[in-house]
Amino acid sequence: MKAQSLSSPGLKPKISNMKKHSILLIEDDELDIISFQRSLKHFDSEYELYTAYNGREALAMLIQNDPVIIPDVILLDLNMPKMNGIEFLKALRADNTLSHVKVFIMTTSTDSNDRAITDQLGVSGYIIKPLNYNDNKKRVDSMEAFIQFHLRKILADEAD
């Protein structure tokens, strides 16, 4: 469990009464975490980024912290050890304090059952992690687009 307080370089300091947004990334692949952090460097808002490597660790972070962490948005991988993304999402939706949190699925899974289950559990979006099989490198353009469009809109809506 890690937390980082970040803001984009070169930006003027925010007014002190502005809410700092919080993002929880639940991902077991260190390269995907680094890619997400790299994409966030272009994000023009202050935020607190929390990371967890599986659903159990994320639930502990959300429920057992004092004060309780309630992120503005959760980015959730489905295929993780100990507690997978669907198990985590079911537990999140069963908790009255956390059930309203916006969740985006980020996964390599193209299984239609995963999509149907997560849709029933009220996710805000579903992102298939792109892979370029020709040179075996992960592409960051989809993550960059998600951050610049969707994440900015989500956090702007939270501020209203």
Local confidence pLDDT in tens for the 160 residues of the chain: 444 433 333 333 333 334 577 889 999 988 888 878 877 777 666 778 899 999 999 999 998 876 777 898 999 999 899 999 999 999 999 998 899 999 998 887 778 898 899 899 999 888 777 544 344 455 445 666 666 556 666 666 655 5
CA distances from residue 54 to 28, 46, 117, 154 in whole angstroms, order as listed: 6, 25, 19, 23
Whether residue 11 is contained in a domain is answered as no
If one counts the domains in the chain, the total is 1
Which value, in Å, is the radius of gyration of the alpha carbons in the chain?
15
CATH of the domain at 96: 3.40.50.2300
Whether residue 12 is contained in a domain is answered as no
Whether residue 152 is contained in a domain is answered as yes
